[in-house]
Structure 1
Amino acid sequence: MKRRTVLTALSTAAAAGVVGALVFLAIAWRAEIPAVAQPKLADFDPSTVRQGAALVAIGDCVVCHTAEKGPAFAGGRALETPFGTLYATNITPDERTGIGNWSAAAFRRAMRDGVSRDGEHLYPALPYEHFTRVTDADLDAIYAFLMTRAPVPQETPENKLIPPLGFRPLLAGWKLLFLHEDPVLPIAGQSDQWNRGRYLVEGFGHCGGCHTPRNIAGGEERGKPFAGGLAEGWDAPPLNAANRTGHPWTVDAVYRYLRTGMDAEHGIANGPMGPVAHGLSGAPEDDVRSIAVYVASLLERGGSKADNPPPVDRESQATREHPEGAALFAGACATCHGPGAPMMAQGRPSLSFVSALQADHPRNAVQAVVNGLPSAQAGRTALMPPFGDSLTRAQIGQVVAYLRSRYSGRQPWTDLEDAVDEALNAEEQP
Structure 2
Amino acid sequence: MSAASSTNASAVLNAPAVPTASTPATAPSLSSMASAASSATAAASAASANGTVASAPAGPGGGADEAAASAALTDANSTDLVKRGEYLARVGDCIACHTADKSRPFAGGVPIGTPFGTLYTPNITPDPDTGIGRWTDADFLRAMQEGVGKAGQHLYPAFPYPEYTRVAERDLLAIRAYLNTVTPIRYTPPRNNLNFPFNQRWLMWFWKLFNFRQGRFVPDPKQSPQWNRGAYLVEGLAHCEECHTPRNLMQGLRSSDRFGGEKQAGWHAFNVTADKAGGIGNWSDDDIEHYLATGVAAGRANAAGPMADVVADSTQYLSPDDLRAIRIYLRSLPPVSGGQMHARDQWGRPADDVKRLRGARVTGVDGAQLFLANCASCHNWTGQGVGGTAPLAYPSLIHNSTVGSPDAGNLVMVILHGVNRQTKDADVLMPAFGGELNDDQIAALANYVTQRFGNPKATVTAGDIARLRKRAQ
Following the alignment from structure 1 to structure 2, what is the Cα–Cα distance between the partners of residues 360 and 376? Answer: 28
The answer (yes or no) to whether the contact 2:233–2:326 under 8 Å persists in 1 is yes
Indicate which of 101, 115, 119 corresponds to 2:152.
119
SS at match of 1:272: helix
1:137-163 deviations in whole A, cap 9, x for unaligned? Answer: 111111111112222221122111111
Is 1:419 equivalent to 2:461 in the alignment?
no
Amino acid at match of 1:75: G
Counterpart in the other structure of 2:311: 277
- What's the counterpart of residue 321 of structure 2? 286
1:332 counterpart = 2:359: no
Q: Which has the higher helix share?
A: 1
Cα distance in 2, alignment partners of residues 325 and 161 from structure 1: 40
Counterpart of 1:248 in structure 2: which amino acid? N
- Alpha-carbon separation, structure 2, partners of 1:158 and 1:312: 47
2:143 corresponds to 1:99: no
Task: Return the letter of the residue paired with 1:397.
Answer: A
The answer as to 2:135 corresponding to 1:89 is no
Provide closer, same or farther for how the CA distance between residues 109 and 327 of structure 1 changes in structure 2, counting only shifts above 3 A: same
1:418 Cα deviation (Å)? 4.4
Letter in 1 for 2:300: H
Whole-angstrom CA distance in 2 between matches of 1:227 and 1:196: 21
- For structure 2, list consecutive stretches of 5 or more residues without a partner in the other structure: 1-73, 357-361
Structure 1, gaps ≥5 residues long: 1-40
Query: 1:404 corresponds to which letter in structure 2?
Result: T
The answer as to 2:388 corresponding to 1:353 is no
CA spacing shift, 1:404–1:341, aligned 2, 3 Å? closer
Answer yes or no: is 1:152 the counterpart of 2:185.
yes
Q: Identify the residue that residue 172 of structure 1 maps to in structure 2.
A: 205
Counterpart of 1:230 in structure 2 is 263
Q: Which aligned runs of 4 or more in structure 1 are off by greater than 4 angstroms? A: 41-44, 242-247, 299-302, 306-311, 316-320, 339-345, 414-418
Map 1:221-260 to 2 at 5 A. Answer: 221-240=254-273, 241=275, 244=278, 248-260=282-294
Pairing 1:275-424 to 2, within 5 Å after superposition: 275-278=309-312, 279-298=314-333, 310-316=346-352, 324-338=366-380, 342-344=386-388, 346=390, 347-377=393-423, 380-408=426-454, 410-424=455-469
Q: TM-score scaled by structure 2?
A: 0.74
Provide the rounded CA distance (Å) in 2 between the counterparts of 1:244 and 1:224.
12
Computed over aligned residues only, the root mean square deviation of the Cα atoms, in angstroms, reads 3.0
| AA at the equivalent of 1:221 | R
Q: 2-side partners of 1:262 and 1:51: how far apart?
A: 27
Equivalenced residue count is 384
Q: What corresponds to 1:261 in structure 2?
A: 295
Q: Which of 99-108 and 375-384 deviates more?
A: 375-384
Amino acid at match of 1:315: A
- Identity percentage over the alignment? 37
Q: 1:105 is matched by which residue type in structure 2?
A: A
Q: 1:57 aligns with which of 90, 112, 124?
A: 90
- Determine if contact 2:85/2:178 at 8 Å carries over to the other structure: yes
Instruction: Determine the C-alpha separation between the residues in 1 that align with 2:269 and 2:435.
Output: 25
